Amino acid sequence: MTARITVGMPLHDGQDLVAEALSALQAQTFTDFEVIISVDGNDQASAEACRPFLADSRFRMVIHEERLDWVGNFNWLLQQPLGEFFCYRQHDDTTAPDFFEKLLAVADQRPDAAIVYADCRYFGEASHIEAEPSIEGDTHQRLKRFIERITATPCRGIIRKDAIAQAGPVRVDEFRSNQQIFVWLAKVLRWGSFLRLPEPIYLRRLHDDNYHKQMRRASDEEKLGAWTTVFTGFLEAVLPTCTSVEEHLFFQHFILDRVCVSREGQTYWIRPNTPEKSGAFIRKCFERLAAEGSMDRWIAPDPAVASGDAATSLADAIAAQADKHRLAMQQAATERDRLLQENARLKSRNAAKTRRVRRLARKNRRLRKSKASRLARATRRLFGQ
């Protein structure tokens, strides 16, 4: 029987820190979980550090002979049979012992949540708390808020299997970029809300070999190339939710503005802090969109539409897409309602079963008490007391 939580740990060159991360998992107060350690590139040193934990039946390890890289390893984990929730665990991070218990308590109260995550307390090279607010509302409200923030914090929580199935795998690019996790989270967010538990029970270690720091040592050209894939990825994630010309136009320009225009308080892989640099970013974004064969995702207003001409080629260009997207959203909503109903039915059945068990326990206690009382009376009569 599959455990309720499947923990996936992609691992490469982590032999010095992985034992602490695995020990933190063993210390969890909630115990119905399994851990899949996915060792990349035949890394025997990391595998050896994990072997003592394989005595725990909840832990298993797979060693890949070829190098998958981070995205490939993460996607391999997503393709395994998962429990109700998936938890991505970095080999250099830990959590409080009640991490799973507290997140599940929130998730059980909110079956519409795609991810439940906690505040993050940094240690090592920094000491502060990262607190990203919940993202709720309708689908477009959620996507807009996430793209404004662009944060990976929710990825460190528990993620519903159904939301993952809807999102699919993380996109792969030639830059080894961890930026694609933002695109994947946007796709997960289409399914439901991201809910924050305001307690710093995720403990993130900062050190020289953090994967995101390795990426930051890339050249500006590589960073720019990777950042353009965030633009094309967000279009891929968001535009299928648009069911009108107006929604399509808004989001395509909103995404381009977010990636290519520098604003205070927003995060950038490489910051476009001058008009010239922003213009260069815009050009690179469209070159990337063309290279991916996805220029049809960008719809330019037709002059005939602007002049009021009856030949509304803009609407014609995306009418078929709009119908397809509308049907897909209706089907997704139907499936989600079915899952919510099934969840409610299972909860009701479990509650009824719990009540029956309690009634039987009370009855057994009364029977034992009555039997003991009769035995005591018989004993007194036998000995003339």
213-229 pLDDT, tens digit each: 566 666 878 888 888 99
Say if residue 189 is in the same domain as residue 260: no
Q: Which structural domain, as residue segments, surrounds residue 137?
A: 5-216
pLDDT of 212 > 60? The answer is no
Based on the domain organization, do 189 and 82 belong to the same domain? yes
What backbone phi and psi angles, to 5 degrees, belong to 33? -140, 165
Specify whether 113 is located in the same domain as 204: yes
Which amino acid would we find at residue 22? Answer: L
- Structure confidence at residue 211 (pLDDT): 58
Higher pLDDT, 311 or 343: 343
What sign for the dihedral angle of Cα 313, 317, 323, 325?
negative
State phi, psi for 34 to the nearest 5 degrees: -125, 155
Any idea which of 38-42, 287-291, 320-324 has the lowest mean pLDDT? 320-324
**Per-chain mean pLDDT for the chain:** 87
Q: Determine the average pLDDT of the residues in 27-32.
A: 98
From 277, 299, 321, the end of a domain falls on 299
pLDDT at 309: 42
Do 253 and 114 fall into the same domain?
Answer: no
pLDDT at position 385 is 61
Domain membership flag for residue 120: yes
Burial of 310 per CB tally in 10 Å (0-12, 13-18, 19+): exposed
Q: Does some domain include residue 376?
A: no
Going by DSSP bridges, is the β-strand pair 94-95/193-206 parallel, antiparallel, or unpaired? Answer: antiparallel
In a domain? residue 69? yes
Domain count, the chain: 2
Distance of alpha carbon 347 from alpha carbon 16, whole angstroms: 43
Over range 12-29, report the average pLDDT: 96
- The answer to whether 88 and 58 have CB atoms below 8 angstroms apart is no
Which residue has tokens 């240690």? 123
Q: Are residues 147 and 250 in the same domain?
A: no
In a domain, 141, yes or no: yes
Q: Which residue has the higher pLDDT, 334 or 8?
A: 8
Cα separation, 317 vs 222, in Å, equals 34
Average pLDDT over residues 75-88: 97
Q: Is the pLDDT of residue 28 over 70?
A: yes
Residue 222: per-residue pLDDT: 85
The β-bridge partners of 158 are: 116
62 falls within a domain: yes
Residue 14 shares a structural domain with residue 106: yes
63 or 380, which is more confident: 63
pLDDT of residue 200: 97
CATH classification of the domain holding 57: 3.90.550.10
Per-residue pLDDT at 87 exceeds 90? yes
Mean pLDDT of 118-147: 94
User: Is residue 192 assigned to a domain?
Assistant: yes
Measure the CA angle with vertex 238, ends 234 and 239; round to 5°.
110
Where b means 16+ CB within 10 Å and e means fewer, 83-113 reads bbbbbbbbbbbbbbeebbebbbebbeeebeb
263 and 199 within one domain: no
* Domain co-membership, 38 together with 173: yes
pLDDT of 323 over the 80 cut: no
pLDDT of residue 306: 39
Burial of 367 (0-12, 13-18, 19+ CB in 10 A): exposed
Determine which of 58-62, 106-110, 114-118, 325-329 has the lowest per-residue pLDDT on average.
325-329
Claim to verify: residue 109 and residue 31 sit in the same structural domain: yes
Instruction: Collapse the DSSP code of 374 into the 3-class scheme (helix H, G, I; strand E, B; otherwise coil) and give the result.
Output: helix
Q: Which of 96-100, 214-218, 240-244 has the highest mean pLDDT?
A: 96-100
* Domain limit, last residue, from 279, 299, 319: 299
Considering 201, 216, 231, which residue would you say is the last residue of a domain? 216
* Cα 165 to Cα 213: distance, rounded to the nearest angstrom: 30
**What are the structure tokens assigned to 283, written together?**
């050009």
Residue 349 lies in a domain: no
> Is residue 98's pLDDT more than 70?
yes
What's the start-to-end Cα distance of the chain, in Å?
57
Residue 269 CA to residue 168 CA, distance in Å, equals 24
Q: Is residue 121 part of a domain?
A: yes
pLDDT digits (tens, 9 = 90+) for 146-159: 999 999 999 999 99
pLDDT tens digit sequence for 159-208: 999 999 999 999 998 887 788 999 999 999 999 999 999 999 999 998 66
> Do 201 and 56 fall into the same domain?
yes
DSSP class of residue 202 equals E
Dist CA 317 CA 249 (whole Å): 12
95-120: average pLDDT? 98
Same-domain check for residues 187 and 272: no
Say whether pLDDT at 305 is over 50. Answer: no
pLDDT, tens only, 329-383:
678 778 878 888 887 888 888 788 888 878 888 888 888 888 777 777 777 777 7
Handedness of CA 357, 360, 364, 366 (dihedral sign): positive
* Rounded CA separation 163/192 (Å): 8
**Same domain? 77 vs 171:** yes
pLDDT at 143 over 80: yes
Angle, in degrees to the nearest 10, between helices 180-189 and 220-238? 10
